[in-house]
């Protein structure tokens, strides 16, 4: 049962131990992520699905970490003692494999049989930052770690639809987080350089999510996407696939770009089946 879908950024600087004095510059984002974690806690999920753009990417499809225990630390950012863990729900892995059997895009299982992650640090920072805040909110449950692939957006959306079917068959209350930052080019000195189209992309995507205009998200102009230098669109599209059947009520919790990178935090609430049937026409 899908309980909630969250959109969250993943800058390590919003981790208090890492950001320290700079945390104030991203106060809206910190507050937004805390609000999202609270929304998720209220749903009492038994499973968490983390969709990230920064894990191991393979050519054949989205990568799913299939090892039983996943772990990572923030050593790359100077804090090797700051660790995050997550367990894999094997039953959900098997159901996802079953539901994608006839799709052009199938999960590639890593850490299982002959496929191995590149290091023992199986969790990337795209997953660890949201997981840190979930842990702080008292949420520590098993689930799935999925890394997006470079397949067409339409195929990632269909993959999300299949993932929803797997979640429904699994039958446990499930929360999904699409981890991703928006444009990395919002102002001079930004990590990927500056482009005036970065702000244009971010405003468009926030507006489309707010209006539930999924078809338009799937068809954003590719030149605008490339100019924006984002990393969050693919996780968001996959997550939107999970919401296709029920529709959703969007809640924008925060947006800002204090360091030249767009940070969006949102909660997408699935509608119940009755209201989805009555309202679906204008939203998705």
Question: What are the chain's domains?
Answer: 2-278 (3.40.830.10)
Query: Cα dist. 243→44, 64, 72, 144, 183 in Å?
Result: 19, 20, 29, 17, 24
First to last CA, the chain: 19
- For 245-274, write each residue's pLDDT tens digit: 889 999 999 999 999 999 999 999 999 743
Residues paired with residue 73 on neighbouring β-strands, in sequence order:
83
Per cent of the chain over pLDDT 90 is: 88
* pLDDT over 60 (residue 277): no
Q: Which residues lie below 8 Å from residue 265, measured CB to CB, with a gap of 6+?
A: 6, 7, 8, 9, 29, 32, 33, 35, 36, 252, 253, 254, 255
In angstroms, rounded to a whole number, what is the distance separating the alpha carbons of residues 63 and 41? 27
Token pair 């009492």: residue: 44
In angstroms, rounded to a whole number, what is the distance separating the alpha carbons of residues 3 and 156? 21
Q: How confident is the model at residue 99 (pLDDT cuts 50, 70, 90)?
A: very high
pTM: 0.93
Q: How confident is the model at residue 49 (pLDDT cuts 50, 70, 90)?
A: very high
pLDDT at 231: 97
- For 194-246, write each residue's pLDDT tens digit: 999 999 999 999 999 999 999 999 999 999 999 999 999 999 999 999 999 88
- What is the average pLDDT score of the chain? 92
In angstroms, rounded to a whole number, what is the distance separating the alpha carbons of residues 131 and 138? 11
Give alpha helix (H) positions in 49-138: 90-99, 125-136
């Amino acid at each position: 049962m899908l309980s909630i879908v969250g959109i969250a950024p993943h800058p390590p600087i919003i981790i208090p131990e890492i950001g320290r004095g700079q945390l104030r510059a991203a106060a809206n984002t910190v507050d937004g992520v805390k609000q999202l974690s609270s929304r998720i806690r209220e749903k009492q999920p038994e499973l968490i699905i983390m969709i990230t753009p920064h894990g191991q990417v393979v050519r054949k499809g989205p990568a799913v970490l299939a090892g039983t225990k996943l772990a990572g630390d923030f050593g790359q950012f100077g804090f090797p003692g700051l660790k995050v863990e997550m367990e894999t729900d094997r039953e959900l892995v098997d159901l996802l494999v079953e539901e994608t059997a006839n799709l052009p895009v199938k999960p590639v299982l890593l850490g299982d049989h002959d496929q191995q992650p590149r290091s023992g640090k199986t969790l990337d920072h795209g997953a660890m930052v949201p997981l840190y805040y979930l842990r702080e909110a008292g949420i520590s449950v098993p689930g799935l770690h999925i890394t997006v692939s470079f397949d067409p957006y339409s195929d990632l959306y269909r993959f999300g639809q299949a993932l929803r079917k797997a979640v429904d068959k699994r039958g446990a209350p499930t929360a999904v987080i699409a981890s991703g930052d928006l444009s990395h080019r919002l102002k001079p000195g930004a990590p990927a350089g500056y482009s005036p189209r970065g702000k244009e992309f971010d405003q468009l995507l926030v507006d489309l999510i707010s209006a539930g205009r999924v078809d338009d998200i799937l068809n954003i102009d590719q030149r605008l996407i490339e100019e924006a230098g984002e990393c969050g669109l693919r996780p968001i599209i996959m997550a939107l696939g999970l919401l296709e059947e029920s529709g959703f009520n969007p809640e924008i919790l925060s947006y800002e770009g204090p360091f030249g990178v767009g940070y969006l935090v949102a909660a997408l609430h699935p509608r119940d089946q009755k209201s989805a049937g009555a309202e679906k026409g204008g939203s998705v």
